Structure 1
């Protein structure tokens, strides 16, 4: 039986752009692959198995070895700090992490509150600024926090900025640019180095063409 490379991928925008990259790199993924509702999809002809997961779970699957490699946003990588290697910046799903809040407002002088689903990233950023803040972890609808008085600021992903505008918020500081990265389990990288290096080489050519 030929060796199988297992790839963990998030659903949604990253999935669509990653599948497009893989096809441009010469991998034959059938049309129905895009529409499948299965969580595990095997493409025997290419020696690939895909696990479709929540974006925040991809590094966990890779770290624990149930997936050899994965595609994850840099925001998730910074927040999760998993024991994986980052092999390639795929230059897809570009966005950035930013500090936002209501316009023309100042943060409280004493322990200002920051709402975010990125508590580690947010805490590190404000610590670097020399500011002591209270982090409030939220899992969704982060924009609500300043509006209802839960927090002075939010730290969240910004793509077009439309969501901030629609909720009457403004961007105050840009923290870090985010793109999707190809990550690998350290053990898999040793055992399946030929397959993984081939994948990286093929994707690298496509990415360099896309960027240029």
Structure 2
């Protein structure tokens, strides 16, 4: 019997929205998946030919790109940050909507004009994406890599600005920050390892087609 197809799913905000899609695709994880006390990272499903791994969002792309998982669900922000050539992202799942934005302290924003920037120091978990964005505008970006608590950076003098995901904007507001520029709109994508798409087409292609159907036929741009 062939090894099961492994689907990598992200911890955090996208997972809650992804679970109903998995259910509609006929994929139900074992009970331990919903057990908050469980430390397990790999799970069987009601389909013996499919298993799930639950990892950090940034790691979903890495597991799939390197073939450790054949499919995954991840935000387009992660795909833009890593730009793995081994990944195929055929379906926009229409979930996990937010935006990647530049934010700065409210007091600074009152007199600041992003069009006048020539050099910026930015705290972000997206250094590659951030640097490319500013380079395209002729702005030199010095990126300070952080994995969380981005909003503290301007407050403590680590950087004057941040680049981070924004949904409601509540966290920014509570930390005295405002959006001054949207870099890109973000949504979750179904991703596939390119090699697996060819070598395990009989298993992978029907799954891709099913998710495309569930997502309303939205192909990723």
TM-score (norm 2): 0.87
Q: Secondary structure at the match of 2:140?
A: coil
Partner of 2:210: 202
- Kindly tell me the number of residue pairs found equivalent between the two proteins: 210
Matches within 5 A, 1:11-50: 11-30=11-30, 33-35=33-35, 37=38, 38-43=40-45, 45-50=47-52
1:30-87 Cα shifts (integer Å, max 9, x gaps)? 5554336321111263511111111111111111111011111111111112221112
Q: Secondary structure at the match of 1:45?
A: coil
Partner of 1:92: 95
1:109-139 Cα shifts (integer Å, max 9, x gaps)? 6733111111011111111121123111112
Once the two structures are TM-superposed, the CA of residue 102 in structure 1 deviates from its matched residue by 0.8
1:193 aligns with 2:201: yes
1:184-206 Cα shifts (integer Å, max 9, x gaps)? 11111111112212112222222
Q: Is the 8 A contact 2:120 2:142 kept in 1?
A: yes
Q: What stretches of structure 1 of length at least 5 have no aligned partner?
A: none
Matches within 5 A, 1:1-212: 1=1, 4-30=4-30, 33-35=33-35, 37=38, 38-43=40-45, 45-82=47-84, 83-105=86-108, 106=112, 111-208=119-216
TM-score (norm 1): 0.90
Q: Secondary structure at the match of 2:119?
A: coil
